Structure 1
Amino acid sequence: MRILFMGTPDIAAACLEALYAAGHEICGVYTRRDKPVGRKQVLTPPPVKTVALAHGTPVFQPRTLRDGGEDANIRALAPDLIAVVAYGCILPPSVLEIPKYGCINLHVSLLPKYRGSAPVQWAVLNGDAETGVSIQQMDAGLDTGDVLVCEKMAIDPEETSGELFDRVTAVGARVLCETVPKIAAGALTPTPQDHAAATMAPPLSKEMAEFHWTDSAEHIHNWVRGMNPWPSAWFVTSGGRKVKVTESRVAESSGQAPGTVLALKPLTVACADGAVQLLRVVPEGSKPMEGSAFAAGLRLKAGDTL
């Protein structure tokens, strides 16, 4: 099929590579503009652009599609289908109506749950037992289109957002490639979403990554998993020091007050209910270390308040 692809980050690049490998004709690629990256602010192309150029596909990087400035170009590309994966720009009705088979979007949740930009992270933050990928027929709303295909995936209770995202990426690329020929064959029945059951997955921020010992152990553990690799869950010690936590485990508590150090190897801290083992931490201004090494540096002992 002749496909116009729209996407930006790593997951989109993986899906684009899979479409090339499946033998589809990629007539063009739309992606976001190059951005300065790192301390030296080196202007860096999005992953999708790198993949497209390696295959000799024309790349377009407009600021927006909503002003109609790209409509003529998209019509000239004459795609049978537009495939969208984490593009980052809204497609207006004038674009949605161009391809013969319309526009489809790969969304990494079980729609209508977790519409928005961070569905994988929120599934982990909320301690969900499963997630999945959905292929939707796009409409003018945000992740509101009819669902064409949906595939579920279990979430391991110790899995981080980063680890889950790697698995979701592989599944999403496969499902997208399996869906395209079914669309051409007319073998799929669109299923309207239950909009009343919709939930949102807003972007994460460094501020919302903070947790408190008065939270439950399950909440803290899910926050550590869900905020990994970015922005990393963190707390402030009784001495005012900010500490990121990148790995944790839920443990039992003997009913001590929240924040009480229960053990040092591994560093175990009481919460509102239960306790949490801090296995890997990053103290402010320091390198990553084991929680027990952090405790030794502060000369903590059982019964202290962290």
Structure 2
Amino acid sequence: MKVVFMGTPDFAVPTLQKLIDCGHEVIGVVTQPDKARGRGKAVTYSPVKEKAVEYNIPVYQPVKARDPQFIQTMKDLAPQVIVVVAFGQILPKEILDIPEYGCINVHASLLPKYRGAAPIQWAVINGENVSGVTTMYMAEGLDTGDMLMKTEVALDPDETGGSLHDKLAAMGADLLIKTLDAIADGTLTATPQDDSQAGQYAKMLTKTMGEMDFSKPALELERLIRGLNPWPSAYTKLHGKTLKIWRAQVVDKEYEGELGEIVEITKECFIIKTGKGALAVTQLQMEGKKRMDAQAFMRGYSLKTGEILPD
């Protein structure tokens, strides 16, 4: 099948690779414009562009997908299907109407729940037991098109945003191929989304989301830590420096003391009082230092009970 692939981040790469491996004719790749990153402002390619260049696939990088010249380029390519995976721009109707078999999106949630930009992380933060991937026809609304196929995965107790990302990226690639196969043999059926079942909008992540509020229950904070791992990460302040918390366990015990107070220190962790229960910090990263276990951190850092975070 002649395919134009639209995607940008790491999550989209396995689907592009699968399309290539399965023999589909990827006639063009559309991704976000190159960006200058780091102190040296070196121009870097998106992960999808890197993969496209590896296979000598033509790459298109419109600043705006609604640009008339870009729309004409897509019409000239005449793809049978456009596959979209975390592209990063909303497509206008002029593009949605181009391919014979429509525009198919690989979305990292079980729609209609978690429409939006960051469904993977919010599934962890909100304590979902199950997540998954949905393929869908794209419509003019945000993640509102008819659903095609779904696949599910149970979340592990220690699931992070990063680990779920990798699982769903691989699952999404397989599901997309199954969806295209069903299109080819005429067995694909589309199911309209029930808007009444739409859950929380999975808004984009920001760095400020990671600031820990110890008035919240320990269970919520532990989920936040896992959901924001590896980016943007959960953090607090210790002695005026940013302290990222990478792993913690919920302690089902009510301690005396103030919210955010370090109420107990053991060989393996230190325990912080929260709005409900407490949080045992087992892996962390001090500003300017490497990630390490709390045990190693406490061997080289003076930490005392009674200190209150953020400090």
Secondary structure of 1:172 counterpart: helix
Distance 1:75 1:254, change over 3 A: closer
Q: Which residue of 2 is the match for residue 131 of structure 1? A: 131
Q: Which residue of 1 is the match for residue 279 of structure 2? A: 276
Using the TM superposition, give the Cα deviation of residue 95 of structure 1 relative to its aligned residue in structure 2, in angstroms: 0.8
* Range that drifts further, 290-299 or 103-112: 290-299
Q: Which residue of 2 is the match for residue 228 of structure 1? A: 229
- Mapped contact 1:127–1:157 kept (Cα < 8 A): no
Residue 69 in structure 1 maps to residue 72 in structure 2: no
Using the TM superposition, give the Cα deviation of residue 298 of structure 1 relative to its aligned residue in structure 2, in angstroms: 5.0
- Mapped contact 1:253–1:270 kept (Cα < 8 A): no
Deviation string for 1:128-156 (max 9, x for gaps)? 11110000101111111000011111111
Using the TM superposition, give the Cα deviation of residue 304 of structure 1 relative to its aligned residue in structure 2, in angstroms: 4.8
* Range that drifts further, 92-101 or 48-57: 48-57
Secondary structure of 2:68 counterpart: coil
Distance 2:124 2:244 in 1: 18
- Mapped contact 1:68–1:94 kept (Cα < 8 A): no
Distance 1:52 1:304, change over 3 A: closer
- Mapped contact 2:110–2:150 kept (Cα < 8 A): yes
- Mapped contact 1:218–1:250 kept (Cα < 8 A): yes
**Percent of residue pairs identical:** 43
Superposition pairs of residues 259-274 of structure 1, within 5 angstroms? 259-265=261-267, 266-274=269-277
- Mapped contact 1:264–1:295 kept (Cα < 8 A): no
* Range that drifts further, 193-202 or 105-114: 193-202
Secondary structure of 1:174 counterpart: helix
Deviation string for 1:159-194 (max 9, x for gaps)? 110011111111111111111110122212111111
Deviation string for 1:25-47 (max 9, x for gaps)? 11111111111122322111111
Residue 36 in structure 1 maps to residue 36 in structure 2: yes
TM-score where L is the length of structure 1: 0.94
Deviation string for 1:4-40 (max 9, x for gaps)? 1111111212110100001101111111111112232
Q: Which residue of 1 is the match for residue 246 of structure 2? A: 246
Distance 2:108 2:94 in 1: 25
Using the TM superposition, give the Cα deviation of residue 305 of structure 1 relative to its aligned residue in structure 2, in angstroms: 4.0
Q: Could you tell me which amino acid in structure 2 is paired with residue 89 of structure 1?
A: Q
Secondary structure of 2:276 counterpart: coil
Using the TM superposition, give the Cα deviation of residue 197 of structure 1 relative to its aligned residue in structure 2, in angstroms: 2.5
Deviation string for 1:237-269 (max 9, x for gaps)? 4x5443110111122324323324223322122
Using the TM superposition, give the Cα deviation of residue 296 of structure 1 relative to its aligned residue in structure 2, in angstroms: 5.0
Deviation string for 1:106-127 (max 9, x for gaps)? 0000111111111101101111
Secondary structure of 1:115 counterpart: coil
Using the TM superposition, give the Cα deviation of residue 228 of structure 1 relative to its aligned residue in structure 2, in angstroms: 0.6
* Range that drifts further, 48-57 or 200-209: 48-57
TM-score where L is the length of structure 2: 0.93
Q: Which residue of 2 is the match for residue 203 of structure 1? A: 204
Distance 1:96 1:294, change over 3 A: same
Superposition pairs of residues 56-95 of structure 1, within 5 angstroms? 56-95=56-95
Secondary structure of 2:145 counterpart: coil
Runs of 5+ unmatched residues, structure 2: none
Distance 1:33 1:154 in 2: 35
Secondary structure of 2:111 counterpart: coil
Q: Which residue of 2 is the match for residue 7 of structure 1? A: 7
Secondary structure of 2:69 counterpart: coil
Secondary structure of 1:261 counterpart: strand
Pairs aligned (count)? 305
Q: Could you tell me which amino acid in structure 2 is paired with residue 11 of structure 1?
A: F
- Mapped contact 2:255–2:263 kept (Cα < 8 A): no
Residue 218 in structure 1 maps to residue 211 in structure 2: no
Distance 2:57 2:290 in 1: 42
RMSD between aligned residues: 1.7
Could you list the runs of 4 or more consecutive aligned residues of structure 1 that deviate by over 6 angstroms after TM superposition? none
Distance 1:95 1:122 in 2: 30
Secondary structure of 1:74 counterpart: helix
